[in-house]
Amino acid sequence: MVELVEISVLLLAFLTILLGGGIWIALALLATGYVGMQFVTGGIPTGAVLATTVWGNSASWSLAALPLFIWMGEILFRTKLSEEMFRGLAPWLNWLPGRLMHVNVLACGIFGSVSGSSAATCATVAKIALPELKKRGYDEKVSLGSLAGAGTLGILIPPSITMVVYAVAANVSIIQIFLAGFLPGLLVMVLYSGYIAIWALANPDKQPPPEPAMSLREKLSESAKLVPTAFLIILVFASLMFGWATATECAAWGVLGSLMIAWWHGALTRDSFWASVMGTVRVNGMILLILAGASFMSTSMAYTGIPAALAAWVDSLHLSPYALISALTVMYIILGTALDGISMIVLTTTIVVPMIKQAGFDPVWFGIFVVLVVEMAEVSPPVGFNLFVLQTISGKDSNTVALAALPFFFLLVVAVAIITVFPSIVMVLPQMAFPG
C-alpha cells in the first residue's frame, strides 16, 4: 500500500508539472499513462496496451452521439434562435417579480436542451439578453450573474456533451444519464428564478416599470417562431423517455431537425453549414483526443492497482455517504479553479467511481452530481468559462462578473445538497424508463 501511495504521488506530481507547463491535456494524460506503465511488473508491452486501449475506447457506437449533438448545437447557434427566444419568452413573464430577468433562465434552459454546451448557451443568450436588459434598465449585476449561472444549464439539461463524456468514461448508459438530468435541470431553474424573484421583491427600486400589457393573440404571435425548436426538444425527450430511439439515433434526428429549423429561419447557407461542420470537428477532435489520453491513463492505473487500493482505503475509513459526497464536492470545487469540466471528469472518473460504488451510490446519480459540480467550475474563477464569455460580451472586468455570479454558485451548492438528500429527483425518470 505504501508503494502504491508513492507511485500515486509521483504520477500526480508528473501530471501537475505537465499541465502547469502548458502541455495539452490529452498529451499530458498519455505521458502520465506511459510513465505509470513503467511501474507495472510482468513485462506488459506498453505500445500494445496504448494501441488497443485507444482504439477500443474510440471505436464506440455510443461515442457517435457526441459529434452529432455538438453539430446540432453548432447549427442552431448560427440561426436566429437567440433573437426570437427573447422576444418569444418576454411577454409571458411580466407578472413575475424580476420580470424579464427570468428570460435569462428560461432561454438558457431552452437553448441548453438543444446545445449541449455551457459556453455556447451562455454566449448565445447573453448576446441578445444583455443589451435588451440594459436598454430596459434592469440591474446589470443580477443580469450578469443570472446569465453566468443559467448558462451552465447547457451541460445539465440533455442532450449534454459533458454527460456523454461521463457516460463513456464511467461505462454507464447515456440514455439513463440524459433522463436523470431533466428534473435536476428543472430544480436548478426553479432555484435561479426563485432567487431572482426574492431579489426583485427586496429591491423594487432597481427595476424598471412593467412592460405594456399584451393581448393573448399578441403574446402567441411573438412566441410563434419558438414552436419548431420546442417541437424538436419534445421529440428528442420523448424518444429518449419512451425508448423509441437510442441516444445516437436521437442525436441524428436532432441534427436533421436543427438543419430544418435553420433552413426555415433562412440561416442555412453554404457558409453557415461549413462553419457548423468545422466547429464540430474542432470541438469533437479535442474531446476525443482527451478521452483517448484518459482511457490510456485509466488502463495504466488499473494495471498498477491504484484505483482498487484507493477504493479499499476509502472503505476502510468508514466515511458516511454524506461525508464522502461533501469531501468530493470540495475536491471538485478546488479542481474547478484550474481545470475545465471535461478534463475534471476524465481525470477523476476512474478513481472516484469505485469509491462511490463502494459507498452505495448509483453511478447514474453520481453522473448528475459530477455535472452539477462541473457547473460550479463554469462560474468560479480563475478558469470559469462562462465568466470568460460574459467578460468578453459585457466588457466588464473579471472581478465584477465573478462577484455577480457568486449567488448562483451557492445555489448550485444547494442543488447538490438537495439531490444528495433526495436522490429520487435524479433517479425517478431512469427507473421509469428502465424499471429492471
DSSP per position, 384-406:
-HHHHHHHHHH---HHHHHHHHH
Q: Is 43 part of any domain?
A: no
**Cα 57 to Cα 53, 170, 176, distances in angstroms:** 6, 12, 20
- Tell me how far apart the alpha carbons of residues 16 and 338 are, in angstroms, rounded to a whole number: 11
> Can you read off the three cell numbers belonging to residue 227?
414552436
SS3 287: helix
**Span 156-170, mean pLDDT?**
83
Chain Cα centroid distance, residue 16: 24
The reported pTM is 0.74
Q: What is the pLDDT of residue 363?
A: 92
The pLDDT value given to residue 114: 65
Determine the average pLDDT of the residues in 66-75.
Answer: 76
Domain presence at residue 187: yes
- Is residue 288, in this structure, part of any structural domain at all? yes
pLDDT bracket for residue 186 (50, 70, 90) = very high
154 lies in some domain: yes
Q: How far apart are the C-alpha atoms of 231 and 235, rounded to whole Å?
A: 6
* 31 belongs to a structural domain: no
Q: How far is CA 279 from CA 70, 122, 269, in A?
A: 9, 17, 15
Asked if the structure places residue 344 within a domain, the reply is yes
Residues spanned by the domain of 104: 62-433
The set of cell numbers assigned to 195 is 432567487
Backbone angles phi, psi at 22, to 5 degrees: 85, 10
Q: How many domains does the chain have?
A: 1
pLDDT at 208 over 80: no
In tens, the pLDDT along 12-57 reads: 788 778 877 777 777 887 888 888 888 776 667 777 777 887 777 6
> Does the pLDDT of residue 422 top 80, yes or no?
yes
Asked whether residue 251 is assigned to any structural domain, the reply reads yes
pLDDT digits (tens, 9 = 90+) for 335-353: 776 566 777 787 778 778 8
The pLDDT-based confidence of 382 (bands split at 50, 70, 90) is low
pLDDT at 380 over 90: no
Domain assignment of residue 196, yes or no: yes
